[in-house]
Amino acid sequence: SLQSDPRSSQPVPRFDCVLKLVHHYMPPAPCAIPEQPGGSLHPKRTYYIYSGGEKIPLVLSRPLSSSVSTLQHLCRKTVNGHLDSYEKMTQLPAPIKEFLDQYDAPL
């Protein structure tokens, strides 16, 4: 657990999950600056996790989702996740095929 300085006058922030804690202490969109002309981009701030004496950079690859997906989206995503071949798609009932075809966003 994280411990705060007992002399601090500010209340300790509390989070119901570790992703919200990380989101609070890290900038939401890291700004990148070139290392050298023609070189690769590096974030201005880098955070590390120390594990077993090893220093591992912490990289957020997706922003913290702050909204719940619709039931329709979750259903389409689940069905599409189980359709690994065209043959399975052709075996679906017509109403489900139409339901999947109406979705305009990538899954």
Per-residue pLDDT averaged across 47-57, rounded?
78
What does pLDDT average to over the chain?
Answer: 72
Asked if 99 and 76 touch (Cβ cutoff 8 Å), the reply is: yes
The residue among 54, 75, 76, 61 whose CA lies nearest residue 30 is 61
pLDDT at 54 over 80: yes
Per-residue pLDDT averaged across 26-45, rounded?
53
**Choice between 50 and 41, residue whose per-residue pLDDT is larger:** 50
Asked if 33 and 45 touch (Cβ cutoff 8 Å), the reply is: no
pLDDT at 93 over 50: yes
pLDDT score at 1: 47
Neighbour count for residue 52 (Cβ, 10 Å): 5
This prediction's pTM: 0.36
